[in-house]
Structure 1
């Protein structure tokens, strides 16, 4: 796991001279602290430099200051030790325990919620990032064909995507890798179609989901708000597993109950509910 020392990584990142490195080492020996702490105390490195070095050492992808600017919504990249990021990782642990049991058939996961503004895009994007940070290949599919936003969050083109595939209009590669997050891929929604529900009800969508599950370790789908139609329930049925997201002090209990009831009688495994407090 440890390919290079923290000291080497900080030295290269800050372009420290031999004299500066020796100054840090002397302080480290004198005060019995780590190299990174000594460098920060002496003003030769920042806490962000130490965090970046740790991320490299443990192969943990974080937002890079010299790379493309990550969306502030991606807290698992830009604020990896915030309360929000920790909550996302806790949800990830619950998802992996429930979804990837040794005796279970592999399934995709749909994130569904009653209304717009519940935080579905935010949660789904960060869940996908956190799954990719475990290793393996993770695919985030934007199956919200009414008001998609994942392409904005990840800064990828949306000229072609899921709607293009389902309508037979895809002429090029539509699954895109996410720069700075190894193993993470995004299938954007593509152009907003006039018939979103009909597209995802087609057998082609179910076949596509099964194919994607066979090619990726994790497949997570964002969905349209249930208030705008049956899209979320249909997507969840094609995936086989779902998480219900609700926003504190915003969603009505009856709307949440209606959404859960819409899955009754379907083969969907409801993994649980997540309350968005942010």
Structure 2
């Protein structure tokens, strides 16, 4: 375990989030410069945009859209670049369509994740708290959307600028490496089984503050691995190195993993699918979580 943690620490420290001055070069650039570079506008097109802008007294982006040189989405992307706000370009959205907080941060769905983020900042990731905690995202059943929620919450937290780590602890049906299109050659299972793992924490392209620890090889004994002291020690180390740690877990119907993971994390949030979750099951699960971790941040109904 010690060898794996050392490799993980080395990798994380070499991919730290940008400092307060790192985005200055972007902030100093005009929207016109960013749009022109993104869409490879010719000098003649730029002159036409400037003329339209002067004629109508509108912004550069509005003039470019009106002339048909760029789309509204291009302007939003340029604004995001200027304010150093992670926002996926069009080609990236097709690669990871589930990441709505990254792909479409101005949508209603993304705004919902920001609202949840605000609650979690107050309830779980509170700087005034004496004990730092990780957040386990749990659900009663497979298919409730737990992985989708955990991934987008991690993106929303990283968009604040603090170092955020998403841990895939669903060692029964891991998916976070698929959502983020990352390598799954090594990860959590290797660390917990004592194998040396190189560069297990991977930085997400386009979101400088977001890192993912995938499962790696799917083990035959997932519950035993998270029940070992090594998992609790690992979580304690991670919450000391990152501003926010979000942990994806197996569905409760798959076994006791989620309860054990939540106990090690110190806080949990339940994701249940609307019109599918059974109230008695949900009530029993929340009671068990309150006993296991002592801090139930809330229950989210996922409608899809």
Same fold (TM over 0.5): yes
Select between 41-50 and 224-233 the one with higher mean Cα deviation: 41-50
Match of 1:90 among 105, 115, 118: 115
The aligned residue for residue 193 of structure 1 is 219
Verify the 8 A CA contact 1:236 1:268 in the aligned structure 2.
no
Displacement of 1:60: 0.7
Structure 1 consecutive aligned stretches of length 4 or more whose deviation exceeds 6 Å: none
2 CA distance for matches of 1:63 and 1:131? 16
Count of aligned pairs between the two proteins: 278
The aligned residue for residue 43 of structure 2 is 18
2 CA distance for matches of 1:171 and 1:14? 41
Verify the 8 A CA contact 1:135 1:183 in the aligned structure 2.
yes
Verify the 8 A CA contact 2:268 2:289 in the aligned structure 1.
no
Verify the 8 A CA contact 1:70 1:78 in the aligned structure 2.
no
Select between 169-178 and 258-267 the one with higher mean Cα deviation: 258-267
- Per-residue Cα deviation, 1:79-107 (whole angstroms, up to 9, x for no partner): 22222111111111111111133431211
CA-based RMSD of the aligned residues comes to 1.5
Per the normalisation by structure 2, the TM-score is 0.88
Verify the 8 A CA contact 1:161 1:170 in the aligned structure 2.
no
The aligned residue for residue 271 of structure 1 is 297
The aligned residue for residue 73 of structure 2 is 48
The aligned residue for residue 178 of structure 2 is 152
Displacement of 1:69: 4.5
Select between 264-273 and 215-224 the one with higher mean Cα deviation: 264-273
Task: Give the match's secondary structure for 1:141.
Answer: strand
Displacement of 1:66: 5.3
2 CA distance for matches of 1:66 and 1:121? 22
Match of 1:81 among 91, 96, 106: 106
- Between Structure 1 and Structure 2, the one with more helix by share is 2
Question: How does 1:1-278 map onto structure 2 within 5 Å?
Answer: 2-65=27-90, 69-104=94-129, 105-278=131-304
**Structure 1 residues 248, 66: CA separation in 2 closer, same or farther (over 3 Å shift)?**
closer
Select between 254-263 and 178-187 the one with higher mean Cα deviation: 254-263
Displacement of 1:68: 8.1
Task: Give the match's secondary structure for 2:291.
Answer: coil
Task: Give the match's secondary structure for 1:85.
Answer: helix
Task: Give the match's secondary structure for 1:174.
Answer: coil
2 CA distance for matches of 1:35 and 1:213? 44
Displacement of 1:172: 1.5
